[in-house]
Amino acid sequence: MKTVYTCFSTDVIHAGHLNIINEAVKYGRVIVGALSDEASIRYNRFPTVPLEKRIELYKALAGVSEVVVQNDILYDGVIEKLHPDYVIHGDNWNKGPMLVIRSHVDSLLSRYGGRIIDVPYTYSPQVAKVDKQLRERQSMPEYRRKRLRQLIKMRPIVKIIEAHSGLTGLIAEKTVVEDNGLLDQFDGMWLSSLCDSTDRGKPDIELVDMTSRMRTLNDILEVTTKPIIIDGDTGGLTEHFVYNVRTLERMGAGAVIIEDKTGLKRNSLLGTEVAQSQDTIENFCAKIAAGKEAQLTDDFMIIARIESLILERGLDDALKRAYAFREAGADGLMIHSRKKEPTEIFQFCDSFRKQDQHTPLTVVPTSFNAVTEKELIEHGVNIVIYANQLMRAAVPAMQRTAEEILKNHRALEADSQLMPFKEIIRLIDEL
């Protein structure tokens, strides 16, 4: 009897899955792989049903002989173990980012004469609806809010990119690359105060207030599913912060990061070039504690950002604050630096990790941008935020285009640098 293998990462069985099983039984004994949670999130599919329940769901399907767990999006482990004669899959993996997975399976099978069976993908309104619901369910606050905490447990490092609009949110949501035979994508988004302010033509001094920031947040929430960390600046008055925590939590944000500064906030990367004052440990701890007290769920995170290195107060001050903020209830810490080298960041992380192996650490490598994700993992960092790169990519491109049109008294010369008009009008899908 030949064996046929297929891998599912779905929470709901629809006609497309049944069609695969119906085809598979024609070739032999059917083994279904249930893709693990860790592997599913590489596809931006965040299971809403636990793995054990998914296994039960697949086992109950007529024609399925056995269900195994597939721990990786690549099939090496299962193919080595099961040596299936056939791997069966919808033919949608013949194009786009999934093609690399298919090619890899093909090379593994060809070593011993196994074969891929491509089943025409089932395009029906019912299948499209289930697929869409599964994807979009993740945007609901109850799923999205807890996803950051889940990712911290599941990923070696959680990779966050800034978004300051619906469009940049979509780029953060949808950009996928092939990397060493694997698919890679961002885990979530950072709603930067700098980029949100810049997009409105305003300076990054808390002038764009929380109510306006929540409008941007809502624009992003409307069109994405990934978790969001909001840059909460100083958190403002404690009496206001508690309301904002409730609102952000209700909207489905995963975390707010507040920095231990007070008075007129200036951007950290200006450092000591401008007057900036750090809050006292007591005041800031009280703000953190009040925020935690105001929270209604266990999902939302308040992350305390330490500005001691930015303000040249030294490593000892940074560490002292780290322990105090953690004791006050902070769910994580962010340590910031404007040095070109990551030395002081590494020193902080190494010292902190000697005392505390669990509290999540976040860094923003804008200035020390040569640091790699691998190095950050080695020093115990859990979240890396690429805080402003999309905005910094857009501004020079727009300036160049404006100059080209002015110089040439027409738009033709600028056109070669632009997205074709036909593509921009189709960029955003209609419902």
**Active site members:** 204
| Per rule CB under 6 A, count of chain residues that contact ligand SPV | 12
Residue nearest to ligand SPV (CB): 192
User: What would the two tokens of residue 2 be?
Assistant: 């030949």
Residue 413 has a CB neighbour count (10 Å cut-off) of: 13
If binding is defined by CB under 6 A, does position 210 make contact with ligand SPV?
no
User: Is the Cβ–Cβ distance between 4 and 29 less than 8 Å?
Assistant: yes
Segment contacting ligand SPV (CB under 6 A): 18-26, 190-198, 274-282, 339-347? 190-198
CB of 194 to ligand SPV, least distance (A): 3
Residues paired with 190 in a beta bridge = 162, 229
CB of 294 to Mg ion, least distance (A): 22
Give me the phi and psi of 332, to 5 degrees please.
-170, 170
CA distance 136 to 134: 6
204/249 with CB nearer Mg ion? 204
Residue 234 has a CB neighbour count (10 Å cut-off) of: 21
For the stretch 388-401, what's the b/e string if a residue is b when 16 or more beta carbons lie within 10 angstroms of its beta carbon?
bebbeebeeeeeeb
User: Is the Cβ–Cβ distance between 4 and 31 less than 8 Å?
Assistant: yes
Contacts with Mg ion in 224-263 (CB under 5 A)? 231
Which alpha helices (DSSP H) does 272-388 contain, by range? 281-294, 315-327, 343-355, 373-378
204/404 with CB nearer ligand SPV? 204
If binding is defined by CB under 6 A, does position 366 make contact with ligand SPV?
yes
If binding is defined by CB under 6 A, does position 278 make contact with ligand SPV?
no
Q: Give the rounded distance of the alpha carbon of 173 from its chain centre.
A: 8
Q: Which of 3, 6, 9, 192 binds ligand SPV (CB under 6 A)?
A: 192
If binding is defined by CB under 6 A, does position 269 make contact with ligand SPV?
yes
If binding is defined by CB under 6 A, does position 165 make contact with ligand SPV?
no
User: Is the Cβ–Cβ distance between 22 and 117 less than 8 Å?
Assistant: no
139/267 with CB nearer ligand SPV? 267
Q: Which of 70, 295, 362, 388 binds ligand SPV (CB under 6 A)?
A: 388
If binding is defined by CB under 6 A, does position 382 make contact with ligand SPV?
no
If binding is defined by CB under 5 A, does position 193 make contact with Mg ion?
yes
Q: Which residues bind Mg ion (CB under 5 A)?
A: 193, 231
Chain contacts with ligand SPV (rule: CB under 6 A): 192-194, 204, 231, 267-269, 364, 366, 387-388
